[in-house]
Amino acid sequence: MDKNRFFRAIPKVDTLIEQCDSAGLFDRYGREITVDCIRERTEALREFIGKSEDETEIIRRTESLLPDIASAAEKLFSPNLKPVVNATGTVLHTNLGRALISRKHADHLMAMVSGYSNLEYDLEAGARGERYSHFEKLLCKITGAEAAMAVNNNAAAVMLTLSALCRGGEVPVSRGELVEIGGKFRVPDVMAQSGAVMVDLGTTNKTHLSDYEDAINENTVALLKVHTSNFRVVGFTESVSVAELVELGNKHGLPVIEDIGSGVLIDLSKYGLTYEPTVQESIRAGAAIVCFSGDKLLGGPQAGIIVGRRDYIKKIKKHPLTRAFRIDKFTAAALELTLQEYLSEENAIRNIPVLRMLTQPPMEIRERAEKLAAMLKNVNARVEVVDCESQVGGGSMPLERLRSSAVAIKPNGMTTASFEEALRRAKKPIICRVQEDRALMDMRTVQPGEAELIAAEVTEILGAK
Ligand SMILES: *Cc1c(COP(=O)(O)O)cnc(C)c1O
């Protein structure tokens, strides 16, 4: 293949500049940005010609160089981080942003981020206030703890707690709880970073109270318990409860610190879900500090919440890492609004999107799937409503399978893989599951108003029968 012929066919930069100018790109995006895009796209084309043997594709790309430059410029000015439709059925989808904040709170949050606020200003005293004050009382009321604060995420909360309370001292922890959460959060590494000395005890499947007893000495500063959020050990197992640890801790004057992971504030087994220990139960059992995520089962903004005894929280607030991990006004506002919903369990289930999606009756999901299937009855594909299972996600309740319904789409005129890709490239991208060569739209995580959007996009991609 004579590649030089193709290299010569690439328009000169000067020519492209003229063409872009007359196509209005300079007016729209400015000269500098447009010229940058010209350079970048011609360079990409040159590289492609260099390595490709596909003549038709080379010609196609050369011919579409101008629109390619225009779309590169357009892309720079439009958000790359944008809303998507989650049709995977996984409620706490880490790749898709985990928990959703209710639209009910959108106006307040918008006002909070686009205007000034009393974030650190005490309006009654007319003096400096604390950013945690807006939700500390709520957290105490809901969890029964004496004091509370929040940092950027639970990884930071655990790291900060151990740094502030355990640096230089020994902290016994069960080998069955040395979890990796993902994103490089590994309990042994976090402990090492914090300066606490990990004393691992017991075995993978069994840890007895006597293991802790044997590990305690004059260098011990606290007992740590970590919830094994994202995995389960089944069969011949034994672990020590928070209450038992507290009793042991009390005998030796040691606080119990618990990383409970998901931050469940309602007993979800009432709604047919797997039982998960709640924060309230740990506090009631006497844990000195409990750490948990704001955007897992709690259903709020990304945050790491620390609740517990006043003296310890006071010490944590004074630690330099607190400043490094501090939450912003958006988080503080969203946390306050989410926690207010918990003042009534009924409100929480109804108004917190994560809880609403998790407790949705299968019949309702089925009805929504049937509605979407009806909207799609004329598209060029085989469309049917099928039973499926959705997951909780976010490293929570790993064994839970939620009964759900999906619309299964098997396109006629294209492969399922190309269809899935087209959905992903939509203006509001639609992320679905591919199973048995069909695209599945699990309706559990499809939000109000999005079914119409899916119908329009699918019709656009596949056309009518
Ligand atoms: C998820 C989780 C973390 C990390 O929480 P982030 O809020 O994602 O930082 C830490 N510990 C446990 C036990 C978890 O389940």
- Residue whose C-alpha is closest to residue 153's, from 115, 110, 129, 184: 184
CA 109 to centroid of ligand 1, rounded, Å:
25
The answer for residues whose C-beta is within 8 angstroms of residue 305's C-beta and 6 or more apart is 139, 148, 149, 150, 154, 157, 263, 291, 292, 293, 294, 298, 335
Which phi and psi angles does 87 have, rounded to 5°? Answer: -110, 20
CB 390 within 8 A of CB 90: yes
CA 302 to centroid of ligand 1, rounded, Å:
11
Atom of ligand 1 nearest to the CA of 230: 15
**How far apart are alpha carbons 41 and 73 in whole angstroms?**
10
CA 3 to centroid of ligand 1, rounded, Å:
53
| Entry pTM | 0.94
pLDDT at 465: 87
Q: Which amino acid is at 456?
A: A
Residue nearest to atom 1 of ligand 1 (CA): 261
Atom of ligand 1 nearest to the CA of 260: 13
Atom of ligand 1 nearest to the CA of 187: 11
pLDDT at 265: 97
Residue nearest to atom 13 of ligand 1 (CA): 261
Tell me if residue 68 falls in helix, strand or coil.
Answer: helix
- Residue whose C-alpha is closest to residue 204's, from 229, 225, 241, 178: 178
- Tens digit of pLDDT at every position of the chain (465 positions): 789 999 999 999 999 999 999 999 999 999 999 999 999 999 999 999 999 999 999 999 999 999 999 999 999 999 999 999 999 999 999 999 999 999 999 999 999 999 999 999 999 999 999 999 999 999 999 999 999 999 999 999 999 999 999 999 999 999 999 999 877 889 999 999 999 999 999 999 999 999 999 999 999 999 999 999 888 989 999 999 999 999 999 999 999 999 999 989 999 999 999 999 999 999 999 999 999 999 999 999 999 999 999 999 999 999 999 999 999 999 999 999 999 999 999 999 999 999 999 999 999 999 999 999 999 999 999 999 999 999 999 888 988 999 999 999 999 989 999 999 999 999 999 999 999 999 999 999 999 999 999 999 999 999 998
Structure tokens at 353: 């999107």
Ligand 1 pocket, Cβ-based, cut-off 6 angstroms = 153-155, 158, 181, 185, 226-227, 229, 259, 261-262, 293, 304, 395
Residues 161-184: tens digit of each pLDDT: 999 999 999 999 999 999 998 778
CA 157 to centroid of ligand 1, rounded, Å:
9
Between helices 55-63 and 65-77, what is the axis angle to 10°? 60
CA 292 to centroid of ligand 1, rounded, Å:
7
Residue nearest to atom 6 of ligand 1 (CA): 154
Our mutation pick for probing the ligand 1 site, out of 185, 194, 289, counting the most ligand atoms within 8 A of Cβ, is 185
pLDDT at 111: 97
Which phi and psi angles does 455 have, rounded to 5°? Answer: -60, -45
**How far apart are alpha carbons 350 and 357 in whole angstroms?**
9
Our mutation pick for probing the ligand 1 site, out of 224, 229, 282, 306, counting the most ligand atoms within 8 A of Cβ, is 229
pLDDT at 181: 87
pLDDT at 2: 85
pLDDT at 229: 87
pLDDT at 135: 98
Pairing of strands 197-201, 170-174: parallel
